[in-house]
Amino acid sequence: MKFENKFENINDIGKGKKYMIFTYGCQMNEHDSEEIAWILENMGYSPAINKEESNLIIFNTCSVRENADLKVYGQLGALKALKREKPDLTIAVCGCMSQQESVRNFIMDKFKHVDIIFGTNNIHKLPQLINNHLQTGETVVDIVEESREIVESIDSHRKYDFKAFVNIMYGCNNFCTYCIVPYTRGREKSRKPESILKEIETLAEKGYKEITLLGQNVNSYGKNLKNPYTFAQLLRDINKIEGIERIRFMTSHPKDLSDELIYAMRDCDKVCKHLHLPVQSGSDKILKNMNRKYTKENYLELVKKIKTEIPDIALTTDIIVGFPGETEEDFEETLDLVKKVRYDSAYTFLYSKREGTIAAKQEEQVPEDIKHKRFQRLLDTLYPISYEINSSYIGQTVKVLVEDISKNDETVLSGRTDSSKLVHFKGNKELIGTFVDVKITNVKTFTLEGHIV
């Protein structure tokens, strides 16, 4: 792809220069960073091995909880000295923090060494923004509120050559009252099925075996398309693509999980038997205040239906502890739900107040010490269940897609089962990107261990 610029050729700006990208947040951000890397490499930039040798450092930020913001502020502060030594270093901030005016103003005020601020919806403009900064020496700020323009000509420099993220939609319309994402990613917009299928066919031709479809709420995929087409249909169509062996997706909102989707998951042999179904809370009062649009009973019925159709399904979830107004009784409803569903694993979060969201205005914030105690009780309930489910794998032989070698021991490989369990086993790194059969001999709360058979 050539980047157009009326005044001069900006395609060579990065020649002989190096870049680094630091990525925070969810898989959507990880994938955005893969696109940014592709753009930069098309401009001639090559990856740096450290900050010192970098000419361009980009922070792709997350704002979902306060901790995420604080990490980036720490990193930006630490770069002040390097920028003083190396004034031609370009520092850019993008991602969900950039989308919020108050955060943007804070960055511009406190971190004057930041040169470029762009958002989640205008990644394709990066070459022009870098050029503008290099030409003028000024700080360049470019933010688009409206959710991302669908620019099909952008490709990705993907981290792996056997598994890939594929965006199927951008933005979110749900406005869960605690969540900043609808404000940082704009309104929901689905990509056309033809473009998605074409991208996946091309990936399959290149030898990719696993794809993960990304969207904040994949179950509402297709709602804004001209021709009616659902997420379930998309799964069935992707299932036919030769070469693709595993299909995963993130994330499903329980309110939109249709029977049609459950049947598609059941019928499509390539769709992994793993469903991430964030519940957030087990209390009807809290669910209502979160604007989740389902009750504990609705959720449990849904889980029952899924387990009936797909008995070996692995279920995972997200849970927030300490949402404003959460009482001991509300929290116990969450523990009760966890015991009933029996999740394979869960991401657990302490509620974090996000300026601009509806819940941030609620007065009954739960005291920090209570939040922490509840959080620990939640883990004490979740972990034994995860361990018990993992124990049922002992003696079984599972098909694993080999993904990485261990950082500590080059002879140990890791990969994932269809159910998304992380497995460790001895093997040669040549096996990365292939499927192997592993007999499980030992399990931990979060991982399985075994040997190749």
418: how many CB neighbours lie within 10 A of its CB? 19
* Residue span binding ligand SF4 (CB under 6 A) among the ranges 11-19, 40-48, 170-178, 358-366: 170-178
Q: Do 72 and 59 touch, CB atoms closer than 8 A? A: yes
**Phi and psi dihedrals of 70, rounded to 5?**
-65, -40
CA distance 119 to 178: 21
Q: Which of the listed partners (ligand SF4, ligand SAH, ligand F3S, none) does 175 bind, with a CB threshold of 5 to 8 Å by partner kind? A: ligand SF4
Question: Angle 341-345-350 (CA atoms, 0-180°, nearest 5)?
Answer: 95
- Choice from 60, 352, 390, 414 touching ligand SAH (CB under 6 A): 352
Q: In the structure encoding, which two tokens stand for residue 229, read together?
A: 């087409």
393: how many CB neighbours lie within 10 A of its CB? 22
* Residue span binding ligand SF4 (CB under 6 A) among the ranges 96-104, 172-180, 197-205, 387-395: 172-180
Does 26 carry a binding-site annotation? yes
* Residue span binding ligand SAH (CB under 6 A) among the ranges 111-119, 145-153, 345-353, 437-445: 345-353
The strands making up 345-350's β-sheet, listed across from edge to edge, are 274-276, 314-321, 345-350
- Choice from 131, 177, 280, 414 touching ligand SAH (CB under 6 A): 280
Q: Which of the listed partners (ligand SAH, ligand F3S, ligand SF4, none) does 182 bind, with a CB threshold of 5 to 8 Å by partner kind? A: ligand SF4
Q: Which of the listed partners (ligand F3S, ligand SAH, ligand SF4, none) does 29 bind, with a CB threshold of 5 to 8 Å by partner kind? A: ligand F3S
* Residue span binding ligand SAH (CB under 6 A) among the ranges 132-140, 178-186, 222-230, 283-291: 178-186
Task: Tell me whether residue 97 or residue 196 sits nearer to ligand F3S (CB atom).
Answer: 97
Q: How many Å separate Cα 17 from the centre of its chain? A: 29
User: What's the DSSP call for residue 55?
Assistant: S
Does 272 carry a binding-site annotation? no
CA distance 204 to 216: 24
Q: Which of the listed partners (ligand SAH, ligand SF4, ligand F3S, none) does 63 bind, with a CB threshold of 5 to 8 Å by partner kind? A: ligand F3S
Give the residue ranges of DSSP H helices in 216-350. Answer: 231-239, 259-267, 284-289, 296-309, 328-341
- Choice from 354, 371, 374, 421 touching ligand SAH (CB under 6 A): 354
Task: Tell me whether residue 172 or residue 211 sits nearer to ligand SF4 (CB atom).
Answer: 172
Q: Which helix (H) or strand (E) holds 106?
A: helix 101-110
Closest to 25 (Cα-Cα) out of 89, 77, 98, 130: 98
Task: Tell me whether residue 97 or residue 181 sits nearer to ligand SF4 (CB atom).
Answer: 181
Does 179 carry a binding-site annotation? yes
Give the up-direction half-sphere exposure of residue 246: CA atoms within 13 A in the CB hemisphere. Answer: 26
Residues 200-219 that bind ligand SAH (CB under 6 A): 216-217
- Choice from 172, 196, 261, 346 touching ligand SF4 (CB under 6 A): 172
User: What's the DSSP call for residue 177?
Assistant: T
Binding site for ligand SF4 (CB under 6 A): 172, 174-176, 179, 181-182, 216-217, 253
Residues making up the binding site for [4Fe-4S] cluster? 26, 62, 96, 172, 176, 179
